[in-house]
Structure 1
Amino acid sequence: MPPSRLGLRLAACLLNISEARRKYVVENIAKAALLEENGQNHPEVSVLNIFSDQDYNRSVITIAASIDILGSSVLAACGEAFRSINMGAQDGIHPCLGAVDLIPIYPLSGIGVEECGSVARSIAENLVLRVPGCSVFLFGEADLPKKRSLVQRRKQLGWFTRRDFSALKPDLGAAPARRCGLTGVGASPYVMNCNVTIDSRDLTAGKEIASGIRGSSANGLKGVQAMAFPHDGNIEIACNVESFEDQEAGETTEDFQYLAYHVLGNRFSYMSPPYIEAQIKKLASDWGIATIGGALVGFTPQECKSCAEYAIKGGIGEFWKKRGGVFM
């Protein structure tokens, strides 16, 4: 591979699947992302991380690749996932609509979010052609011309509460089949997952704390979406941390509230995980509750880019094994 291509046009997919309790199934899905049609390992693809949560029965598989081949890699992983996961038998605390629940494409280097949107649309179109019963909704840069956010689409579809697929109207594909469910496909600037556990079983308190840090709240944290779930005998505040284009923010602020990175010369900022944890701790203390700790699911945008470049330059397809896959 010519050195000039390395690290220049990379994107990532944080593939969300509705399975965590069968480790071999999750790993088979990850390994499928690495194979070319001839069965050989693809040199420009790496699975950087696998994060599985038993209570949620949900896994996030971080696939990084050259943007030119990311689509085929993701499709291969999805094909294995749809063969292995039956939504009719799935159970878990975390909301979900699909066996493959979410396919977000994020730019890492050398490409913009619009090109990621084109790749996402291509993935969506191919999925409904290749997988019988697969149905798709689009979000972000893949949802043209409206470009509705993932949060908007999930609210419209009842993702947070629905388990009955019969009345759902997909953007692509027929009415969702019970086995496959409904899959979200889209593109946006990078979104992290950051979870903080509070030392309590009080779900009402957890929901109030999650509401207090949500970006849509009056004093909430910009770009943060949050939900509260029972988890391992306590309550977990699960946060999606969105990147947003920001021409004014510096690399950090005095209290490290925001962190920044660049893609194609554009600056993006996001709320720092330690700051999110500190704010949750402060809100929890108002309820007389302590926090136990926080966990970043996968990587920050900068870490994802660095790991992707390192893994692909080194031809390390199963990078998650070298850094230690996390199975909770």
Structure 2
Amino acid sequence: MCAMKRLGICLLNISEGRNAQVVEAVATAAVSTAREVPASDADLGLHCKSTVLNIFSDYDYNRSVLTIAAPLHHLSDSVYNACREAYGRIDLGDQHGVHPRLGAVDLLPIYPLSEDVSVGECGVIAKGIASNLARDIPGTSFFLFGSSDVPKNIDLVARRKQVGWFLGKHQMDYGSLQHDLGSSPSPRYGLTGAGGSLYVTNYNVSIATGDVSIGHEIAGRIRSTTPGGLPGVRVMAFAHEGTVEIACNVENVPMENAKDAAHSEQAESTISTGTRPHDSGVCPQQDTYHSVRYTTPSKIEARVKELASAHGVGLVGTSIIGFTPQEAQELAVHALQTGQVDFWRTRVPGAMM
């Protein structure tokens, strides 16, 4: 099957993981017009305009992630339609779960999926979707991160700290939250993060203890900002179904040269877009191509196992939320060229970050 150009992907995070009908309605909305392929797309080999590759939902977290992939010129409509459905069905004021969140649609990230798409383009698309939603759904509100946050380009973790995301929604004065687009945040819709960055893999490791302090200690040791931590790993620890879950966002990290890839014991290399980051907390810019690396799930699992064993604790299980970068690209091409708009129905449900 031939390669496909100009692909983007969104890992849409919504604050609903207990009502499967609501989650599936959001997924269905994302591909509601996907079978209407214009003649101008014929040379791309498209048999659908977009696809939902995967849905991961978690009951305790009351949160779902929908993996939406499409050629860049179709991605905006698909993500917009999914968000519109989610805002119509999810009232954040009625939502309860142990995972931090500030929005009914909590996160709207756009990533490059093929090497001919830049992080800058993804930022423009994410900001455009947010602007259209703010215009069409009164009461919705957005903060921008990464390449949507021009000219500062502050990354997601830093922006989440600024808006109080890690505090969760409990006892929250929504009207006091900083926002960049839309109305003043409200308890009904909350505050949604929208932005562009390099691809992020979500990977979780559960350890056999109810002691969250052990999870926090392990998270601190593997975090990328800690000396000896794992490249690109942003991590939190949560009590989850009687265990503790080490929940990792694994970012693609741009490399300076091929030597970095050859000597990295903790990462695999792939190709994406974006330039070298400037400072901690600042996202890659746009329009140039670089090799990137990401820490593999096997490396994370091995490191967590080593640290947990020092506390006499074993592993319970692991889960990848969606796909590695290569898997996402390969499956997106397959689904788009075979017309599988609901590719997620072929996937086995699992726990999520």
1:302 and 2:326 correspond? yes
Aligned residues: 323
Deviation at 1:256, TM superposition (A): 5.0
Q: Name which of 105, 130, 138 aligns with 1:132.
A: 138
Deviation at 1:327, TM superposition (A): 6.4
- Equivalent residue letter for 1:28: A
Deviation at 1:287, TM superposition (A): 1.3
Is the CA contact (8 Å cut-off) linking 1:251 and 1:261 kept in structure 2?
no
Is the CA contact (8 Å cut-off) linking 1:244 and 1:268 kept in structure 2?
yes
Aligned to 1:211: 220
Is the CA contact (8 Å cut-off) linking 1:35 and 1:41 kept in structure 2?
no
> Deviations 1:226-270 (Å, cap 9, x if unpaired)?
111011110000000000111335696688520111136521110
Say which SS state the counterpart of residue 222 (structure 1) adopts. Answer: coil
Aligned to 1:184: 193
Is the CA contact (8 Å cut-off) linking 1:47 and 1:64 kept in structure 2?
yes
Is the CA contact (8 Å cut-off) linking 1:32 and 1:80 kept in structure 2?
yes
Say which SS state the counterpart of residue 166 (structure 1) adopts. Answer: helix
> Unpaired segments of 5 or more residues in structure 1?
none
- Equivalent residue letter for 1:115: E
Say which SS state the counterpart of residue 306 (structure 1) adopts. Answer: helix
Deviation at 1:34, TM superposition (A): 0.4
Q: How does 1:279-298 map to 2 (within 5 A)?
A: 279-298=303-322
Say which SS state the counterpart of residue 160 (structure 1) adopts. Answer: helix
- Structure 2 CA distance for aligned equivalents of residues 325 and 281 of structure 1: 24
- Structure 2 CA distance for aligned equivalents of residues 306 and 232 of structure 1: 33
1:223 and 2:229 correspond? no
Write out the 4+ residue segments of structure 1 that deviate beyond 4 Å after TM superposition. Answer: 39-42, 249-256
Q: How does 1:122-201 map to 2 (within 5 A)?
A: 122-163=128-169, 164=172, 165-201=174-210
Q: Name which of 88, 92, 100 aligns with 2:93.
A: 88
Deviation at 1:326, TM superposition (A): 3.6
- Structure 2 CA distance for aligned equivalents of residues 268 and 44 of structure 1: 28
Deviation at 1:26, TM superposition (A): 0.2
- Structure 2 CA distance for aligned equivalents of residues 308 and 153 of structure 1: 29
Aligned to 2:253: 244
- Structure 2 CA distance for aligned equivalents of residues 14 and 278 of structure 1: 26
Q: How does 1:9-88 map to 2 (within 5 A)?
A: 9-36=6-33, 43-88=48-93
Deviation at 1:274, TM superposition (A): 0.4
> Deviations 1:130-168 (Å, cap 9, x if unpaired)?
111100000000000000000000111110114211210
What's the TM-score once normalised by structure 2's chain length?
A: 0.87
- Structure 2 CA distance for aligned equivalents of residues 298 and 315 of structure 1: 20
**Greater mean deviation of Cα atoms: 217-226 or 9-18:** 217-226
> Deviations 1:26-77 (Å, cap 9, x if unpaired)?
00100100023xx965621000000000110000000000100111110100
> Unpaired segments of 5 or more residues in structure 2?
38-47, 274-288
- Equivalent residue letter for 1:204: S
- Structure 2 CA distance for aligned equivalents of residues 16 and 41 of structure 1: 26
- RMSD of aligned C-alpha atoms? 1.9
* Percentage of pairs with the same residue: 47
